[in-house]
């Protein structure tokens, strides 16, 4: 395994290793059990794609908001009271009938937590990270998002401080819907760019 002095001996079970680390950090005064509960609670309930969905719905109904969002994503999401982590340099890229955007972090797992929550495992695993830059058209089709050959694909690799959010196109036949109802149509995957609504 990773260690150089334990050849042949399997590691302790992962949960026991995690508990060992937690106990030692608690004893060192670096963290408390309550801190961990608070982190768990925050990431499970306060963060998530519902924030991004609100942003998208607003951009669909308010052309001047859409303009501000595309000009400065961070400022525009703050306008809606969205203040989470990993959106200090948020760049929003808008899909159109001619162009489809898709986001990745090939080097690790950078993702705009404040608008989408923590990334799903597929986003963090090697197949997506390697293939979305190598053969995006093939991969998107495999993931249930086939695109016409005429649609240009723009891939955004989050390799520095910017985090990217895709503004999907508003689905046809939604003219009568309220902003809240529109937000209910927006999925996480459409804001990563692996789905068309």
Partner 1 sequence: MDFGGVTVDPDEPVFRARWEAAVMAAALALLSAAPARGWNQTLSSFRYARERIDPVDYLGSPYYERWLTTVATIAVESGVVRREELEKRAGGPFPLARPLRVHGLENPGSGVSRFAVGDRVRVWQRHPLGHTRCPGYLRGHVGTVLRSHGASSLPDVEVHSRLRVQEAVYTVRFDAGEVWGDGQTGVCLHADLWDSYLETP
197: contact with partner 1 by CB under 8 A: no
Number of chain residues interacting with partner 1 (CB under 8 A): 71
Q: Which is nearer to partner 1, 118 or 197 (CB)?
A: 118
**Tokens at residue 24, please?**
């030692």
Nearest approach in angstroms of CB 165 to partner 1 is 14
Nearest approach in angstroms of CB 112 to partner 1 is 14
Quote the distance between the C-alpha of residue 194 and its chain's center. 11
Instruction: Indicate if 105 belongs to the active site.
Output: yes
How far is it, in rounded angstroms, from Cα 66 to Cα 97?
Answer: 17
Please report where in the chains the tokens 């670096």 appear, as a residue.
30
**Tokens at residue 93, please?**
């890229």
How far is it, in rounded angstroms, from Cα 168 to Cα 178?
Answer: 17
Phi-psi region of 31 (alpha: psi -120 to 50; beta: other; left: phi over 0): beta
Q: Which of 50, 137, 171, 196 binds partner 1 (CB under 8 A)?
A: 137
Instruction: Indicate if 162 belongs to the active site.
Output: no
- DSSP E strand stretches across the chain: 90-94, 99-104, 152-157, 163-167
Q: Which of 54, 68, 116, 135 binds partner 1 (CB under 8 A)?
A: 135
Q: Which is nearer to partner 1, 36 or 181 (CB)?
A: 36
Instruction: Indicate if 108 belongs to the active site.
Output: yes
172: contact with partner 1 by CB under 8 A: no
Q: What count of other Cβ atoms lies within 10 Å of the Cβ of residue 196?
A: 17
196: contact with partner 1 by CB under 8 A: no
Residues 74-103 that bind partner 1 (CB under 8 A): 89
Say which of 32, 64, 96, 109 is annotated catalytic: 109
Name the DSSP letter for residue 115: H
Residues 20-49 that bind partner 1 (CB under 8 A): 20-25, 28, 30-31, 35-36, 38-40, 43-44
Hey, which residues are catalytic here?
105, 108-110
């Amino acid at each position: 395994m990773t260690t150089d002095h334990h050849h042949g001996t399997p590691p302790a079970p992962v949960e026991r290793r995690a508990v060992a680390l937690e106990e030692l950090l608690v004893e060192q005064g670096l963290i408390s059990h309550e801190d961990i509960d608070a982190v768990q609670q925050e990431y499970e309930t306060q963060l998530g794609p519902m924030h991004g969905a609100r942003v998208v719905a607003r951009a669909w109904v308010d052309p001047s908001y859409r303009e501000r969002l595309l000009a400065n994503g961070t400022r525009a999401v703050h306008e809606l009271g969205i203040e989470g982590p990993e959106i200090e340099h948020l760049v929003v890229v808008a899909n159109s009938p001619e162009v489809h955007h898709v986001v990745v972090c090939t080097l690790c797992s950078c993702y705009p937590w404040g608008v989408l929550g923590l990334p799903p495992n597929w986003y963090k695993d090697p197949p997506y990270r390697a293939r979305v830059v190598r053969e995006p058209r093939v991969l998107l089709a495999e993931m249930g998002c086939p695109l016409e050959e005429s649609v240009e694909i723009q891939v955004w690799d989050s390799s520095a401080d910017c985090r990217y959010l895709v503004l999907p196109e508003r689905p046809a036949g939604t003219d009568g819907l309220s902003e809240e109802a529109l937000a209910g149509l927006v999925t996480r995957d459409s804001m990563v760019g692996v789905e068309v609504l």
